């Protein structure tokens, strides 16, 4: 498996991957929400190409993770998502490889923290904790423990407040 930065020529494969990975979460006959959200994120000024990664196996894109600008009050941070793996490659380490790569890349870029909305059973293995444990409030209170934060090297304990995702998250 090879994890690398996403390029514009990967987009159609990414959209197909998102369609397959999230098909069971979309209403019957509808396109998964994550496809249009990703299109909007790619088109936004808040898209971070250095934190948009794909995983390839034998030249086929089998996984994807996207990082976009986010903020904790005035502090720049990164929102992660979507993270997706083709159904046939789930539970094989592809998602873990993408998470380790994006965390390392963000840390190398001096990002203070990563935020995501996701499984409270999956993401803690990568150091994510419930946002309130580090003084960060979720954009939506009903997300509760599913809104999680991973602090990185440059994070300071006084960097607290309410997290705000990139604009397309609020429009979708």
- pLDDT at residue number 69: 97
Task: Give the residue among 31, 44, 41 at the shortest CA–CA distance from 65.
Answer: 41
Rounded CA-CA distance 102/52 in Å is 8
Tally of domains within the chain: 1
pLDDT higher than 90, residue 170: no
- Domain ranges, residue 82: 2-171
Select the more confidently predicted residue: 113 or 27.
Answer: 113
Confidence at 74, pLDDT banded by 50, 70, 90: confident
Beta carbons within 8 Å of 65's beta carbon, 6+ residues apart: 51, 52, 53, 80, 81, 82, 83, 84, 98, 99, 101, 102
Burial class (CB in 10 A: 0-12, 13-18, 19+), 164: middle
Which CATH number does the domain housing residue 140 bear? 3.40.630.30
pLDDT higher than 80, residue 98: yes
- pLDDT at residue number 171: 73
- pLDDT tens digits along 42-69: 999 999 999 999 999 999 999 999 999 9
- pLDDT at residue number 172: 54
């Amino acid at each position: 498996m090879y994890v690398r930065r996403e390029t514009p020529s990967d987009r159609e494969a990414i959209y197909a991957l998102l369609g397959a990975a999230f098909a069971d979460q979309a209403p019957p006959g509808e396109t998964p929400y994550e496809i249009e959200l990703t299109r909007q994120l790619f088109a936004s000024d808040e898209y971070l190409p250095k934190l948009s990664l794909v995983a390839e196996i034998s030249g086929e894109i089998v996984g994807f993770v996207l990082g976009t600008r986010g903020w904790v009050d005035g502090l720049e941070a990164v929102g992660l998502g979507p993270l997706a793996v083709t159904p046939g490659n789930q539970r094989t380490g592809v998602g873990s490889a993408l998470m380790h790569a994006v965390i390392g890349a963000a840390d190398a870029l001096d990002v203070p923290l990563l935020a995501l909305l996701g499984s409270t059973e999956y993401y803690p293995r990568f150091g994510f904790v419930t946002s309130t444990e580090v003084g960060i409030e979720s954009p939506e209170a009903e997300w509760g423990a599913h809104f999680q934060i991973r602090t990185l090297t440059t994070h300071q304990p006084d960097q607290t407040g309410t997290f705000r995702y990139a604009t397309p998250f609020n429009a979708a």
